Amino acid sequence: MKKLGLGVLGLGEGRSIISAGVNSPLWSVARLCDLSEELGKARCAEFGLDPKVYASSLETMLADPAVDVVGIYTPDHLHADHVIQTLKAGKHVICTKPFLHDLSRAREVLDAQKASGKQVFVGQSSRFFAPFTRQREHFESGAFGDIITVEAYYHADHRWFLKKEWAKNDAFKWLYGCISHPGDLVRWYLPDIEEVMGYSSLSENGRSLGLAHPDTFHFVMKATNGVTARVSGSYSGPVVPLQRDSNMSCILRCANGASQGDYYDLRYAWKIGSQSVVETFEDQDAHYFRFGGHSHHAGEYQNYIEYFARSITEGKTPKPDAREGIVTVALMQAMEESTQIGRPVKIKEVLGRFGLTDLMS
């Protein structure tokens, strides 16, 4: 299989996909682009790439025939622009979460994809983290039976992130940036969420650091088949010690059993009948966490770029694709509106306002 040429736009968290690309037999890292030349050159040096690989503009990167796919890791509110530009240049897209920061350009993104005939893959990294991947495969085996309810949360002390200028921008919202993880995990199991209701608040910790929008969230939601789910997140305060909590978890309660995927400890626990098992993927720690600490996601990205490469070669639509990604953005928008009006909001109504009802079955 011919290696795919990867261009990386945005070299903060983009560092993780560079690491994924240089370590994958399916990819070759062709170009790196960032507004900061200093960062671009530093990343070239870090990964042993020729400094000429650095491009100061997306246009330059897109003009390079060696680039087949662009991985987009720029601030959330720039994703729509960068996805559309990349598709118009005839390249495939990997876009990190949140796919879009609102729905205003969703139709334009879909039209650009259609016109290009290229693939768009939304980098919902949590799906590609071993405990959650294993939980999904185990669920798909049918052993657990029908879902009774799903609970997912992502809590983290992200005050360090608020040092970034764009985090104080009015367009920056933790609801889209972080709730997109547990929101997507719930939609993985319950794609047809019909309606959502919730509360949010901005803590004094977040406000004093310049955050403009809420940092604390609790939501309940209902799928069209009547199954209910819960999603929570809190981002400007300390978290419970890791021995007691995973920070990100997904719990499935089903007719014949229950399972829980956990972020920290790379742990997966499940129970069916009298069988009760805790599995660990701790031996894969070095695959997932390559730069010290647990704040980068190189392992998840390596798993997803290899999945995406296979999708391209086999002509299959990757999941989540642009359509699925946009409905997840609509779910987040419905969540946001619900916190503002104090009532449940239907996803279909939100999609309808942007001429997108065809995305919901």
Ligand X SMILES: NC(=O)c1ccc[n+]([C@@H]2O[C@H](COP(=O)([O-])OP(=O)(O)OC[C@H]3O[C@@H](n4cnc5c(N)ncnc54)[C@H](O)[C@@H]3O)[C@@H](O)[C@H]2O)c1
Binding site for ligand X (CB under 6 A): 9-13, 33-36, 39, 58, 73-76, 78, 96-97, 123, 125, 164, 166, 177, 297
Cis peptide before 98 (omega within 30 of 0): yes
* Of 144 and 263, CB closest to ligand X: 263
Q: Locate the DSSP E strands across 80-166.
A: 92-96, 120-123, 147-155
* Of 13 and 102, CB closest to ligand X: 13
Distance (Å, whole) CA 290 – CA 296: 8
* Of 39 and 171, CB closest to ligand X: 39
Q: How far is the CB of 258 from ligand X (least distance, A)?
A: 26
Nearest residue to ligand X by CB is 12
Distance (Å, whole) CA 54 – CA 358: 40
* Of 79 and 138, CB closest to ligand X: 79
Q: How far is the CB of 62 from ligand X (least distance, A)?
A: 11
Q: How far is the CB of 139 from ligand X (least distance, A)?
A: 22
Q: How far is the CB of 296 from ligand X (least distance, A)?
A: 7
Other beta carbons within 10 Å of 299: 25
Q: How far is the CB of 61 from ligand X (least distance, A)?
A: 9
* Of 74 and 116, CB closest to ligand X: 74
DSSP 131-167: HHHHHHHHHHTTTT-SEEEEEEEEE---GGGGGSGGG
- Token pair belonging to 219: 């939501």
* Of 197 and 248, CB closest to ligand X: 248
Phi first, then psi: what are they for 66, rounded to 5°?
Answer: -75, -15
Task: Compute CA distances 7 → 56, 107, 121, 190, whole Å.
Answer: 12, 25, 14, 33
Q: How far is the CB of 177 from ligand X (least distance, A)?
A: 5
Distance (Å, whole) CA 309 – CA 71: 12
